Structure 1
């Protein structure tokens, strides 16, 4: 049928797509009426066609053709018509069929691998007709092009002799008739803005005495107290006292106490958190690593899933620096007795069309609706397809890489409800094989993506996903008010109709959502939406500042003292404000900064939150996980504005009594006979008793939390 290498997509008569292994869909524009005169060729042989049907779609005609020979990915097929018009048959929906996954998924290693002679390159590109490794020098000039060989199951590889560690490279992938230059999706080291991948010897990125398995012990998930933090926020304020502002290295700095409060990472240790959760530190696209001007983004716009973000590094140009500095940060956090959680974003990419994944295997890694448009449950224009084998593999390979290479101790999955349950179960299994104490949790929101609801890893399916945690939206909404009605109130802010919901949340929501309380991630503030202080300013604009302080303390106390995993947003302990900005994902530093001056100005509240954390960590009864343990919690009859309960501490004979008074009036609460020590009174808290009482009832002030212990 002739040579089609100079084919140009300038024909407007029709376009054609492989939608299954023996089905071609043709979109006929104009001028063609006899569909029996189509001929298919692979460049060597003509392939028999049969008309399967046709129908009108707007001004176009859609024709379905059946072939008697299965589509072979990587072959350039042409559809010709007797009229002389022809079109390259593009790879269409066939890549999203179950058969494609079964025939072409590859379960081996991908990326670059240093050998004795050079480097072995491996990329999965089943639909490509040609793949080349482009070699660049340190001046970013191309010095060689090395053809790759097609192997089984869509793999392409080649060994580039003479090109070892430090080699800069890209791939040129020809697919659907055009060639695009891409960066290896599995690359571990890259130049600024990840424009070029680099062959890396990761051992050379290790800090002195680096051991990713040397980390603080951690018995069970409910022992966790999570402190969510943005790398840049933490150190960027001029008064932070930290030298490496906005950088990973700020976490490695040692500073003396100031005004009686530790600085830097020592502060988080002092406060009592067990885990530092970092907003995304994988390479993301919204910050230009080449620009010196201040830039800000939360980083929920991923590009590379194996490369650390360079804007938090002291030198984004050198590929090793960012890797080493993340390891130094993790080591510093571990050395303080803290663990590290990564916020990971596998549910979408920065831009679909610009994605290396889309350029290499168009249409495969993402979901599309029945009309062929990208599914948009994430709200950013694309949803990744975790249910497909190679997207699932990418997620598993990425998570396990960060756990092994960097010693990461937990993963918070952004928009986890968009992923399928099977993938999340496999993630849990794979990290269990590395370290069963690694935390795994995420946002189990129901999102409108093109995946059947029964397959989604949503909070409604939590009981099918053991040992995977979920942000508890019922806890959030019942304690502070409904998320999307910023003028509404929750129990802590004056709405007592939700009292029974709050009691269930205090029990870890085990009756409603979860198998164990440790699946419940309890929070009233996170990076998303208003801070709790800004929310109170909207929902209670006429309340006094002291009244809002009390409501804020009460909501935080309920969070810290409930069964499950308490989650605190950095600065929650000092009434963090973002000046009313609800979605500060790209707001400047003056909005997002961690305000060390505000922290010191409200030191009494900070030490109160610290004291509540001490109480939680000291009494195991506040950290139960299994359902059978919950029988030791007994709620006390109280007025509508008050919740009170007793917890019997196993093996010690101690009984904890917790009282939350959300009303604006003092209340008498019956707490039982015997001598009791007061550990928290709404102003102070800690394991050292503040006072003692032998009264059977206690007078609880308005908007207050009281904790007592009774020793039998």
Structure 2
């Protein structure tokens, strides 16, 4: 289906409704932690929350689709809106639905919202023995080490994109197991897939939605359907089309775990993109058991629409907040996940997001949480209660995407022909500097000139996600081509290198879009959420074609890893060690990181970005400096040494030097 949320993914409107009135909320609250289906060989306990129901039926089936019920059982009303029943037999691998009678009519047969296993297309739940889905050695699965959040470097990837290219050399194309394959190569002998990502040097893989979503028919794998997955169906279950058998509810669980286990073994942590801000439609499982409760509404009773999807969930309601917390905790524990990216996090309330942070960090303090700090339209929830970017300082150990820096580097999101700092825009430097210091308070940033934020919003640098491109909108390469139609490929590559050099030498958390390291193109398609594989797949021939670009990205990431001066963990440290230098050219930014910042072996570091289309001159401090980045290549040891005084920095390039 065409999904309007994706089309408007960066429609950054966050409007305060002046007529907000809290909705009546007199539903009972269930405080237990056992909703859903709890199996043992002796019995299975079924519990759902349906406080307005007059009756609830449970149906058991032999398969996830088709066939008549094996049993139909009436649930009993319990306390606090819960309905329950216990079946004293071994129901392992049987499928089930619930059906509630509300206001005189029977609603649809659906799995409960807490379902942890489902059949094909997610229309029936499955009674699962989760321990039996663990791959060999799962109990010994060990997360790669992580000291500070600012050490994180994220690679944003769609599961299917990695492997679908015929030249990927990957057997399990479009599957979780495709990401778990090693030693894969393209026909020209270059590494692909997991080995490629590992060699690149990033620390985390951010997977676009990989829970069970609505828009792909899992019964027709041969149809090669595609979607990003921002249309949630069953939040606690892996997506069936990414498994080798969508009909067996165990397979997708086992294969997702195998993927995580393999990524961990190869030094990569795993982040799941979660979409609790809306459901795929209002015929959701939520509405089959408690119609209307889980959503926000306008004063006239219509569904509010801050997501541009026709509905928005109400995170501030007790049972929705409880659901979100229990869902991420389940993913963290059962699947050993290392982080969560919240889609349209600005729709959620601050209290819920902080409760989520507390619950996850109780399990593992290294779990990383971040999200989009905006909405896609009006919401009845007051802005001062929302987890939007301007309120990031109120969030506890939660980061936000830095669109100020993103658009400063490449140009504004709303006009794809507009230029940014890397293509000569003369009004973008302050927005770039805002990102360089990690969006924290710094005396040398003129916030009145930052494109969206007129004040620092990060309390500490780990709260900012610095990036120049992601799945939304055009790839970086396509955007640069569109906004610079007369530029040569050579000049476009210079702009591309400069763009991500800024990102990976800035304070905060570095983030990149999969394939940027080989100049990924989607043939000019901006929001490719339902475009075919031919548009979305990673074209592995580009790795060889643009080998120089790949090697540049690889050494750039290694430079960030080797030098903690680019990963300072506190705002105080940034203010003490990072100072901007005067430049006569508005298209040039220069700064010095001094005093062995954050324990770096380099005492003094100079970073110079020339976004002008002409060479620029700047005076650097006296002394002997070794050139590490010259705009074309990166070499930490063997480039030339130069003296202080006036130097010339080539057009559209980054220079980085350290004092000998």
Q: 2:258 matched to 1:328?
A: yes
Matched residue, 1:563: 507
Which of the residues 473, 477, 502 maps onto 2:432?
502
Instruction: Within 5 Å, give how 1:311-710 maps onto structure 2.
Output: 311-352=241-282, 354-446=283-375, 447-511=377-441, 512-630=456-574, 631-638=576-583, 639-648=585-594, 649-650=596-597, 651=599, 652=601, 654-710=603-659
Cα distance change of structure 1 residues 257 and 685 upon mapping to structure 2, 3 Å threshold: farther
Q: How far off its partner does 1:106 sit? A: 3.6
Q: For residues 295-351 of structure 1, what are the alpha-carbon distances to aligned partners after superposition, in whole Å with 9 as ceiling and x for unaligned? A: 000000000011100001011111111001000100111011110011100011111
Cα distance change of structure 1 residues 125 and 220 upon mapping to structure 2, 3 Å threshold: same
Q: 2:54 matched to 1:129?
A: yes
Alpha-carbon distance in 1 for matches of 2:184, 2:37: 44
Which of the residues 132, 147, 153 maps onto 2:80?
153
Matched residue, 1:112: 37
Q: How far off its partner does 1:551 sit? A: 1.1
**Contact 1:182–1:360 (8 Å) recurs in 2:** no
Q: For residues 423-451 of structure 1, what are the alpha-carbon distances to aligned partners after superposition, in whole Å with 9 as ceiling and x for unaligned? A: 00001000001111111000011441121
Cα distance change of structure 1 residues 212 and 485 upon mapping to structure 2, 3 Å threshold: farther
Q: Does 675-684 or 565-574 show the bigger shift? A: 675-684
Q: How far off its partner does 1:140 sit? A: 3.4
Cα distance change of structure 1 residues 340 and 519 upon mapping to structure 2, 3 Å threshold: same
Secondary structure in 2 matching 1:239: coil
Secondary structure in 2 matching 1:604: helix
Alpha-carbon distance in 2 for matches of 1:499, 1:256: 42
Instruction: Within 5 Å, give how 1:90-239 maps onto structure 2.
Output: 96-100=23-27, 103-138=28-63, 140-180=67-107, 181-211=109-139, 214-239=142-167
Secondary structure in 1 matching 2:543: helix
**Contact 1:468–1:519 (8 Å) recurs in 2:** yes
Alpha-carbon distance in 2 for matches of 1:239, 1:517: 40
Alpha-carbon distance in 2 for matches of 1:517, 1:697: 32
**Contact 1:106–1:154 (8 Å) recurs in 2:** no
Which of the residues 179, 182, 200 maps onto 1:251?
179
Alpha-carbon distance in 2 for matches of 1:245, 1:686: 36
Cα distance change of structure 1 residues 429 and 488 upon mapping to structure 2, 3 Å threshold: same
Q: For residues 607-637 of structure 1, what are the alpha-carbon distances to aligned partners after superposition, in whole Å with 9 as ceiling and x for unaligned? A: 1111111111111110013111012011111
Q: For residues 118-146 of structure 1, what are the alpha-carbon distances to aligned partners after superposition, in whole Å with 9 as ceiling and x for unaligned? A: 21101111110101111112463202111
Alpha-carbon distance in 1 for matches of 2:586, 2:23: 55
Matched residue, 1:262: 191
Q: How far off its partner does 1:653 sit? A: 5.8
Alpha-carbon distance in 2 for matches of 1:692, 1:267: 33
**Contact 1:611–1:687 (8 Å) recurs in 2:** no
Alpha-carbon distance in 2 for matches of 1:155, 1:148: 10
Structure 1: any 5+ residue segments left out of the alignment? 1-93
**Contact 1:557–1:705 (8 Å) recurs in 2:** yes
Alpha-carbon distance in 1 for matches of 2:397, 2:157: 24
Cα distance change of structure 1 residues 610 and 419 upon mapping to structure 2, 3 Å threshold: same
Q: Does 392-401 or 664-673 show the bigger shift? A: 664-673
Q: How far off its partner does 1:257 sit? A: 5.7
Alpha-carbon distance in 1 for matches of 2:33, 2:514: 40
Alpha-carbon distance in 1 for matches of 2:398, 2:178: 31
Q: How far off its partner does 1:532 sit? A: 1.3
Cα distance change of structure 1 residues 257 and 658 upon mapping to structure 2, 3 Å threshold: farther
Secondary structure in 2 matching 1:707: strand
Alpha-carbon distance in 1 for matches of 2:342, 2:125: 26
Alpha-carbon distance in 2 for matches of 1:616, 1:526: 20
Secondary structure in 1 matching 2:272: strand
Q: How far off its partner does 1:187 sit? A: 1.2
**Contact 2:37–2:115 (8 Å) recurs in 1:** yes
Q: How far off its partner does 1:674 sit? A: 2.1
From the two aligned structures, give the one with the greater strand fraction.
1
Secondary structure in 2 matching 1:643: strand
Alpha-carbon distance in 2 for matches of 1:125, 1:703: 61
Matched residue, 2:453: none
Alpha-carbon distance in 1 for matches of 2:29, 2:279: 23
Alpha-carbon distance in 2 for matches of 1:437, 1:469: 13
Matched residue, 1:62: none
Q: Does 433-442 or 159-168 show the bigger shift? A: 159-168
Alpha-carbon distance in 2 for matches of 1:693, 1:197: 67
**Contact 2:474–2:527 (8 Å) recurs in 1:** yes
**Contact 1:173–1:182 (8 Å) recurs in 2:** no
Structure 2: any 5+ residue segments left out of the alignment? 1-20, 442-455
Secondary structure in 2 matching 1:337: coil
Alpha-carbon distance in 1 for matches of 2:507, 2:244: 41
Alpha-carbon distance in 1 for matches of 2:129, 2:299: 45
Q: How far off its partner does 1:504 sit? A: 2.1
Q: How far off its partner does 1:282 sit? A: 0.5
Matched residue, 2:14: none
Q: Does 370-379 or 109-118 show the bigger shift? A: 109-118
Rg (Cα) greater in structure? 1
Cα distance change of structure 1 residues 645 and 682 upon mapping to structure 2, 3 Å threshold: same
Alpha-carbon distance in 2 for matches of 1:235, 1:634: 44
**Contact 2:423–2:613 (8 Å) recurs in 1:** no
Alpha-carbon distance in 2 for matches of 1:154, 1:509: 45
Q: Matched residue pairs, number?
A: 615
Q: How far off its partner does 1:665 sit? A: 1.8
Alpha-carbon distance in 2 for matches of 1:484, 1:664: 24
| Structure number with higher relative contact order (C-alpha < 8 Å, ≥ 6 residues apart) | 2
**Contact 1:279–1:343 (8 Å) recurs in 2:** yes
